[in-house]
């Protein structure tokens, strides 16, 4: 799918102040970055803007910032790592106000090719509210041109993602998307709108309710829809099976029936687990020891809980992947945080790693699983945005994409 939006290749940034919204929402442990994927993914756009002589002003959110600005959610560790990656200074504006006098002074002192990183945008409460006009304007005041490269945040119409573009346009500036946004949308868009067939979509994770629209939309687009994880049990129950204490959303039984009927009518394959790994209870702690056995999907005892797909199901799903030319995967097949219950997720990840098909991993847990298992370089594309890629797969327009100027 060609993205008909202005990109960093279509704008002239020489000598101009360019505000770039990145997704630097990296995981931190004791102040250390534990996964730098999102920083690495932002480098091509940043390097391009430096090379073109822009004054590169970066901004991002980090974490949820529930209790106001705090050092634990400062972007300071990102500034340090980014500086190492770029091989040049990144001037970090640590001021909790994000914009204002301190940021303006730092921007005024910039030369072409310099890089400034603003503080966590969520330190300003207005970032996430509907009345973020003032913050949007203050951000836009710092720049001449705006680039959105924060795919992981592009499903939210926040001040630094969407609001700011209106203020940039109002003063005659351009709004473009970065290389990461382009890449994400090319991969996800092509898979959904123009897939090389057979197209197999694999959905897992805890709840059906979180993925209603994804299931519905993908069923129309794909040839085979595979369901695993906790959400499979609502489908099995909807088929009249005993699922014991497994995760079930009783309010969604009719929805599951509707989806199974829809698959039939459209002539699509909808694969559900034929066996499952069960235990007496959910592991506590989640990665603690647990006794399990594998039973057929229609033989789950009333007092047991299904926590992973079984071995026959893993083979069935791997076979479906083998025959595919395009595969999109979102959500684990079981409680993969526990090694004993990660076998189904590992089997699916392995089957994707071994195929020549185009393989696309929606972000979140499946991306984490693929990374942990060391299969990352075997995938065609691993999305940096869990929520954003899910909304894209639902067929929704992403505010961060819509806000960019058309070509
Ligand atoms: P989601 O955030 O919806 O992608 O769901 C991911 C979570 O689903 C992970 O934390 C898994 O542990 C959990 N999960 C996967 N399969 C099951 C299951 N059979 N029962 C309960 N939780 C599950």
pTM given for the model: 0.91
Q: How far apart are CA 128 and CA 160, in angstroms?
A: 9
Torsion of CA 377, 379, 380, 383, to 10 degrees: -100
Torsion of CA 285, 288, 291, 296, to 10 degrees: 70
Q: Output the CA 359–ligand 1 centroid distance in Å.
A: 21
Q: Output the CA 389–ligand 1 centroid distance in Å.
A: 18
DSSP characters over 308-357: EE-HHHHHHHHHHHHT-SEEEEES-SS-TTSGGG-HHHHHHHHHHHH--S
Q: Which residues line ligand 1 (CB under 6 A)?
A: 205-207, 210, 229-230, 247, 306-307, 331-332, 334-335, 337, 364-365
Asked if 178 is an active-site residue, the reply is no
Asked if 207 is an active-site residue, the reply is yes
Per DSSP, the three-state class of 67 is coil
Ligand 1 site-directed mutation target among 205, 226, 227, 317, most atoms within 8 Å of CB:
205
Asked if 38 is an active-site residue, the reply is yes
| pLDDT at residue 3, rounded to an integer | 76
82-124 tens-digit pLDDT? 999 999 999 999 999 999 999 999 999 999 999 999 999 999 9
Both structure tokens of 124? 């300003």
Asked if 364 is an active-site residue, the reply is yes
Looking at the DSSP assignment, which residues form a beta bridge with residue 176? 147
Measured by CA distance, the residue closest to atom 12 of ligand 1 is: 335
Both structure tokens of 169? 């346009």
From 228, 306, 364, 386, the catalytic residue: 364
**Contact partners, residue 181, CB within 8 Å, separation at least 6:** 3, 148, 149, 150, 151, 154, 400, 401
C-beta neighbour count of 186 within 10 angstroms: 14
Per-residue pLDDT tens listing for the chain (407 residues):
567 899 999 999 999 999 999 999 999 999 999 989 999 999 999 999 999 999 999 999 999 999 999 999 999 999 999 999 999 999 999 999 999 999 999 999 999 999 999 999 999 999 998 779 999 999 999 999 999 999 999 999 999 999 999 999 999 999 999 999 999 999 999 999 999 999 999 999 998 998 999 999 999 999 999 999 999 999 999 999 999 999 999 999 999 999 999 999 999 999 999 999 999 999 999 999 999 999 999 999 999 999 999 999 999 999 999 999 999 999 999 999 999 999 999 999 999 999 999 999 997 888 988 988 899 999 999 999 989 999 999 999 999 999 999 99
Measured by CA distance, the residue closest to atom 4 of ligand 1 is: 205
Ligand 1 site-directed mutation target among 278, 334, 348, 364, most atoms within 8 Å of CB:
334
Measured by CA distance, the residue closest to atom 21 of ligand 1 is: 230
Cβ pair 277, 309 in contact under 8 A: yes
Q: How far apart are CA 30 and CA 91, in angstroms?
A: 23
189-235 tens-digit pLDDT? 999 999 999 999 999 999 899 899 999 999 999 999 999 999 999 99
């Amino acid at each position: 799918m060609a993205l008909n939006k202005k990109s960093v290749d279509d704008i002239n940034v020489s000598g101009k102040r360019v505000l770039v919204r990145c997704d630097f929402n990296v995981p931190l442990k004791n102040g250390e970055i534990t996964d730098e994927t999102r920083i690495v993914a932002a480098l091509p756009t940043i390097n391009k803007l430096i090379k073109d002589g822009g004054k590169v002003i970066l901004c991002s959110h980090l974490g949820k910032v529930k209790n106001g600005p705090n050092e634990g959610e400062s972007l300071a560790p990102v500034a340090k790592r980014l500086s190492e990656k770029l091989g040049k200074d990144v001037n970090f504006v640590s001021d909790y106000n994000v914009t204002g006098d301190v940021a303006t002074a730092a921007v005024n002192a910039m030369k072409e090719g310099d890089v400034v990183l603003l503080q966590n945008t969520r330190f300003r409460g207005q970032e996430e509210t509907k009345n973020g006009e003032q913050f949007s304007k203050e951000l836009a005041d710092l720049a001449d041109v705006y680039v959105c490269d924060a795919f992981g945040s592009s499903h939210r119409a926040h001040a630094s993602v969407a609001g700011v573009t209106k203020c940039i346009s109002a003063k005659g500036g351009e709004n473009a998307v970065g290389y990461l946004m382009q890449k994400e949308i090319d991969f996800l868009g092509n898979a959904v709108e123009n897939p090389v067939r057979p197209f197999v979509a694999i959905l897992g994770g805890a709840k059906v309710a979180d993925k209603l629209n994804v299931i519905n939309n993908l069923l129309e687009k794909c040839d085979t829809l595979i369901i695993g994880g906790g959400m499979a049990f609502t489908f099995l129950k909807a088929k009249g099976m005993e699922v014991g204490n497994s995760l079930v959303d009783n309010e969604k039984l009719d929805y599951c029936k509707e989806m199974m009927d829809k698959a039939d009518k459209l002539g699509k394959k909808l694969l559900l687990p034929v066996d499952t790994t069960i235990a007496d209870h959910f592991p506590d702690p989640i990665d603690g020891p647990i006794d399990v056995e594998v039973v057929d999907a229609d033989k789950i005892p009333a007092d047991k809980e299904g926590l992973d797909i079984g071995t026959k199901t893993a083979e069935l799903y791997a076979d479906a992947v083998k025959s595919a030319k395009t595969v999109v995967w979102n959500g684990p097949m079981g409680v993969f945080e526990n090694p004993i219950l990660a076998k189904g997720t590992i089997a699916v990840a392995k089957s994707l790693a071994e195929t020549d098909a185009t393989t696309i991993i929606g972000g979140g847990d499946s991306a984490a699983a693929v990374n942990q298992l060391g299969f990352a370089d075997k995938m065609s594309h691993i999305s940096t945005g869990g929520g954003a890629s899910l909304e894209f797969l639902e067929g929704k327009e992403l505010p961060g994409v819509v806000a960019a100027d058309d070509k």
